[in-house]
Structure 1
Amino acid sequence: MKSPAAWRTWAVGAVVLAVAAALLVAVGPEGAGAGRAGTARGHRWITDRQGRALVLRGLSTAGDAKQTADGMPWIEEKDVAREHRALGTNFVRFLLQWRKVEPAPGTYDRTYLKRVAERVRWYGERGYHVLLDMHQDLYGPGTGGNGAPRWATETDGHTSAPTDPWELGYAEPGTVRAFDRFWGTVEGGGRDLRKHYVGALREVAGHFADDDTVIGYDLMNEPWGGSVQGPAFESGPLARLYQDGIDAIRTVDRDHWLFVEPSAIGSNWGFATGLPRLDDPRGDGDEARIAYAPHLYPLPMDLGGGYTGDTKGRVDASLRAWREQTEKTARRLGAPVVIGEFGLDVGLPGAMEYVEKVQRMADEMGAGFAYWSNDPGSWAPWDAEMKPTVLLPVLDRPYPRAVAGDPVSYRWDEAEKTLTVSWRGVAGVRGGTEVYLPERHFPEGGRTEGGGRQEWNPKSRTLTLSSGPGAHSVRITPRG
């Protein structure tokens, strides 16, 4: 028999899921609206130090860092080399933990940050761009989750029991109270935990401000409002934390990008977010470097379903709604888009069709992505014995890593073995357009139509195209 607290947890969770499911059914092709045709005309891009637009493709590293005592992921340098060689990725979302950055109030563990920096160097030596992600789930160890230090976990005697699925743990009384204490939305005094969190963000940014491999900082993974939800949370406590974090980071790092996420409940499934536009002390417009990094987990799949049968239609509706809401929010924020997470068990029916569909959608949107995750197992490109899964060849696809100007469109047609890339060259951008051509599709390199002078590097599988201002378009097919 359930205790009263257990019944309340179950009831809250059931209501959340039931309302979400009802909304998802209501959002069909008519309600979702048509997505923007082609790719990113008028779209903002994350750029490198040469001014080139970056198309970010990679994995999150790594889920096991949530639980390890030292906060480090499972990888060694050889694993980074394997990932780069097998997938041609140029991006990694590297998990950090507040519990490790600030193990005691006001005390920062610089040894931890140095160990993170060592792993960032492994990626940097292979041309990666690293996003440092301040990660949490279910708040912290004191509530059955990870992220926050125990000293920053205030539950006022409320407890949190394990749940199935794990996401229902967000409705546990102890977890709700810990978040309420963090956000300062519950009556009574106490420490300003948000100030500590912002201080930890500033410490991380200060450590990596001069590191060119680091592309930016994800300010909080999947924020949750506790007892305050929806627009009231996103436009209130969450926006205030983000603005405080942005302002603090800019005192030590003027250049790196700052990535913000909406509340995961709802927005992951394609519902609207109330996250408002945020100010970057760097300036407005093109001077601002704030990126939008929502996650993508359509509700039927978030509940463990595959991409098949009746579920497929509901997932497609969710994807259309998610794209519409994401593009709408990105315009409001004036921000480029990176899908901070998407993924699923590769053994589910239709899983690879779904992954390919999301990749095509990202191409059409001009969005980067970090697949979840590189942890060996059923969600990854390799299994527990480090043997490739069916996911690896699906992720290993051609794409332009960096574009010397403003991308207009890029599209991979696997049936025709053709990659097309179009862009408008911009004066002042240095370097060429770099295109990754995997060996599985381009064993002898690529043959091009258009694109001007070119250079092929068979070791990195990179074709570099030289161009100047004006319109450019190239069609790349396998050589030989």
Structure 2
Amino acid sequence: MPNIRVRLLVVLVVLCGFLTVAGTPPATAATSALPSDSLWFDGSPLAVRDGRFADSQGREIVLRGYNVSGETKLEENSGLPFASVADARKSAAALRALGGGDAVRFLLSWAHAEPVRGQVDTAYLAAVTEQIRAFLDAGIRVFPDFHQDLYSRYLFDSGSWYTGDGAPEWAVDAGHYPKESCGICLFWGQNITQNAAVQQAQYDFWHNGHGVQDAFLATAQATMAYLQQHLNDTEFAGIAGFDPYNEPYAGSYDSGQTSRTWERDLLWPFYVKFRARMDAAGWQDKPAFVEPNLFWNSNISTQKQEGGLQDAGTLGPRYVFNTHFYDQKAISGILMWGKAADGQYASDFAAVRDRAASAGTAAVVSEFGHPLSGTVSDKAPTVLKAMYQALDSRLPGAGWWSNPAASGPVLSGTQWQWDIYDGGHHELMNGNPDKVLTSGDAWNDEDLSAVNLDGSGNVTPRQDVRLLDRLYPSATAGTTLAFTYEDRSRDGSTTLTWNPVPSSLPDVAQLVGSGQYGLLVWRSGTGTAPTELHLPASFPTASTTVVSDLGTVHAPPAYTATTPVAVAPEPGGTGSRRLLLTDTDSGALHYALVTNGATAPSADLLNEARSELAAWAAAHF
């Protein structure tokens, strides 16, 4: 989460300078509800191949979505993201249709999975399974995450200013930690380096003090085995992997230890143990989404630390390089006075791409976001646009058209967060009935959810839907060479256009006009499945124009096997749609411009735009 890093930073800069199982398992899950009209099975098993995610058709896959959700960190719904399966299904449908997501990072609670040492609560796991199934049935891939922040809420008493989540009460009791105190702490993230109770508890976990790490690994294995046994084969195929531990931090270092050697000597061995537990639980073919130390990807020099799992060697296909990113300068309110601009995070996200490439695996940015209320919330429209821009391409918009071959792979990412209860919580902070939290995330004064519920109980975006519901290549039949998307999202009344079509392509510029557009360039592979791009709701079929070497069409037709440019529903029955682009070759260069800016374009304009794009592609690839 942002404040674990950011708020510590502000003070640094400003002030200093198998188990016994309790309960009865439910009956074996019924057949998946994925519809038969999915055409190409989006829920096919995910693998890492040649440093990118790939499906069983050999297509390059991009995961885009949200964290579901910070509600898990609260007690009001007993460590579950949703109060009911019905709410989970409502959220999944909206996440697909309003947020354009095809994946979620699904938060789990160790405290609720193992409330008694050595006993897994299968009632909790059954509830988790049903809520996960709601997303799988909507055609959304899921990667669970055993979440923690500040180690555990049980380190904090009823009068504390802050709270945590993660470890169960028995794990805290075993440590006999000192009374928590952060001293002069303006922000909750300072606890990680100023609160002795938090520091010692984290230290004990990584050193397996009192056997707590062994207990966690056993619970994780039991949880994964439960999911494998209670999801049917089709549903289990939609599980993308597992995130073992959120934002790992040493607590304190041993003598002479650095963040890099801590990763080498303690964090990586933990991941190797977790990987073995995955294998034992029947998750052999699913990758572990492993995170470096939480300070690794920082845009503040005083907080930048060595790490990034540099000493783990080649991670390979059984691991995914999984990091987070928040603009700590923007959130501080002190170190960045203005708004984010074109290319703001190009270098930060390029570092993620480069680190994953050097590790021989795929990358995912499993948390990113910005506060939507408070003194820095005015930056959110530009900060989030710049983050999505950096996920799409490693280039600023100003340089994309002139050097598209440097665009790099499209990064997978899940925004923090998708909490339908935002602003409507009823959380007793640390169990204190005199501290009932209702506003924002109900978590240490944060407010980052992209949605909430309106007065009628409908899921409603709190951010510009042009920003959230994006065009992106969800499955590329071959290798993505370049991609960009100009969402034309708004900062107040200002339309943010960071990647206009250059004047050197006048017919393309005329076709796009003031509309949204995306451009994908790829080299075809050897499979037969089509390339797929998610079509936002702002791209209704009647207003969508595609200019491609595969065909040029306004208002694409419904998909058939012989239609090179077509539209089809996305799986899950949520009303969301995708563009399907079918080639019949291997190793050939292809491009596709997709825009909603044209109204009944002439055949001449379409042909001229195609000629311009063909010449542009030939010159740059």
TM-score bucket of the superposed structures, by smaller chain: 0.7 to 0.9
Q: Which amino acid aligns with 2:567?
A: W
The 5 Å alignment of 1:208-357 reads 208-209=227-228, 210=233, 211-228=236-253, 230-251=259-280, 252-269=282-299, 271=304, 272-276=306-310, 278=312, 285=316, 288-304=317-333, 308-309=337-338, 312=340, 319=345, 322-347=348-373, 348-357=377-386
Specify the alignment match of 2:20 in structure 1.
none
CA apart distance, 1:440: 1.6
Q: Which amino acid aligns with 2:12?
A: L
- Change in 2 beyond 3 A, CA 1:238/1:250: same
| Contact kept in structure 2, 1:445 and 1:456, CA below 8 Å | no
The 5 Å alignment of 1:14-413 reads 17-18=12-13, 44-68=51-75, 70-74=78-82, 75-144=87-156, 145-153=164-172, 154-161=174-181, 163-170=185-192, 171-184=194-207, 190-209=209-228, 210=233, 211-228=236-253, 230-251=259-280, 252-269=282-299, 271=304, 272-276=306-310, 278=312, 285=316, 288-304=317-333, 308-309=337-338, 312=340, 319=345, 322-347=348-373, 348-365=377-394, 366-375=410-419, 376=422, 377=440, 378-383=447-452, 385=454, 386-413=459-486
- Change in 2 beyond 3 A, CA 1:442/1:130: same
Identity %: 26
Q: Which amino acid aligns with 1:466?
A: T
Q: Distance in 2 between matches of 1:327 and 1:462?
A: 26
Q: Distance in 2 between matches of 1:296 and 1:21?
A: 24
- Change in 2 beyond 3 A, CA 1:442/1:268: farther
CA apart distance, 1:178: 0.7
Q: Distance in 2 between matches of 1:139 and 1:354?
A: 29
Q: Which amino acid aligns with 1:262?
A: P
Three-state SS of the structure 2 residue aligned to 1:273 is: coil
Task: Answer yes or no: is 1:435 the counterpart of 2:513.
Answer: no
Specify the alignment match of 2:576 in structure 1.
460
Q: Which amino acid aligns with 2:187?
A: P
Q: Distance in 2 between matches of 1:108 and 1:89?
A: 31
Q: Distance in 2 between matches of 1:352 and 1:21?
A: 31
| Contact kept in structure 2, 1:257 and 1:290, CA below 8 Å | yes
Q: Distance in 1 between matches of 2:461 and 2:360?
A: 39
- 2:595 aligns with one of 456, 462, 477: 477
Specify the alignment match of 1:25 in structure 2.
none
Q: Distance in 2 between matches of 1:408 and 1:231?
A: 33
- Change in 2 beyond 3 A, CA 1:20/1:278: farther
Q: Distance in 2 between matches of 1:224 and 1:65?
A: 20
Q: Deviations over 1:425-455 (max 9, x none)?
A: 222x352211112132445253322336133
| Contact kept in structure 2, 1:258 and 1:289, CA below 8 Å | yes
Q: Deviations over 1:351-404 (max 9, x none)?
A: 211111111111115211111111235423334635432343311121111112
Q: Which amino acid aligns with 1:434?
A: E
| Contact kept in structure 1, 2:68 and 2:81, CA below 8 Å | yes
CA apart distance, 1:100: 2.0
Q: Which has the larger radius of gyration?
A: 2
TM-score after normalising by structure 2 = 0.65
| Contact kept in structure 2, 1:234 and 1:262, CA below 8 Å | yes
Q: Distance in 2 between matches of 1:372 and 1:337?
A: 17
| Contact kept in structure 2, 1:158 and 1:173, CA below 8 Å | yes
Q: Which amino acid aligns with 1:399?
A: Y
Q: Distance in 1 between matches of 2:481 and 2:57?
A: 19
Q: Distance in 2 between matches of 1:166 and 1:231?
A: 25
Q: Which moved more, 1:215-224 or 1:463-472?
A: 463-472
Three-state SS of the structure 2 residue aligned to 1:444 is: helix
Q: Which amino acid aligns with 1:89?
A: G
Q: Distance in 2 between matches of 1:78 and 1:15?
A: 38
Q: Which amino acid aligns with 1:476?
A: V
Task: Answer yes or no: is 1:419 the counterpart of 2:518.
Answer: yes
Q: Which amino acid aligns with 1:249?
A: M
Q: Which amino acid aligns with 2:451?
A: W
Q: Deviations over 1:304-342 (max 9, x none)?
A: 569652x758x977x355335323421332221111111
Q: Distance in 1 between matches of 2:593 and 2:476?
A: 15
- Change in 2 beyond 3 A, CA 1:102/1:435: same
Q: Which amino acid aligns with 1:364?
A: S
- Change in 2 beyond 3 A, CA 1:249/1:65: same
Q: Which amino acid aligns with 2:98?
A: A
Q: Distance in 2 between matches of 1:433 and 1:324?
A: 25
TM-score after normalising by structure 1 = 0.82
Q: Distance in 2 between matches of 1:392 and 1:305?
A: 29
| Contact kept in structure 2, 1:159 and 1:172, CA below 8 Å | no
- Change in 2 beyond 3 A, CA 1:191/1:324: same
**Number of matched residues?**
437
Three-state SS of the structure 1 residue aligned to 2:378 is: coil
Q: What is the Cα-based RMSD across aligned positions, in Å?
A: 3.0
| Contact kept in structure 2, 1:307 and 1:354, CA below 8 Å | no
CA apart distance, 1:14: 7.4
Q: Which amino acid aligns with 1:407?
A: T
- Change in 2 beyond 3 A, CA 1:430/1:254: farther
Q: Distance in 2 between matches of 1:47 and 1:350?
A: 35
Q: Which amino acid aligns with 2:179?
A: T
- Change in 2 beyond 3 A, CA 1:92/1:14: closer
Q: Distance in 1 between matches of 2:308 and 2:93?
A: 40
Q: Distance in 2 between matches of 1:255 and 1:148?
A: 28
Three-state SS of the structure 2 residue aligned to 1:267 is: coil
Q: Distance in 2 between matches of 1:161 and 1:20?
A: 18
Q: Distance in 2 between matches of 1:51 and 1:250?
A: 23
Three-state SS of the structure 2 residue aligned to 1:420 is: strand
Unaligned runs of 5+ in 1: 1-11, 23-41
| Contact kept in structure 1, 2:482 and 2:521, CA below 8 Å | yes
- Change in 2 beyond 3 A, CA 1:350/1:21: farther
Specify the alignment match of 2:4 in structure 1.
none
Unaligned runs of 5+ in 2: 1-6, 18-48, 157-163, 395-409, 423-439, 441-446, 488-499, 501-511, 552-563, 570-574, 601-621
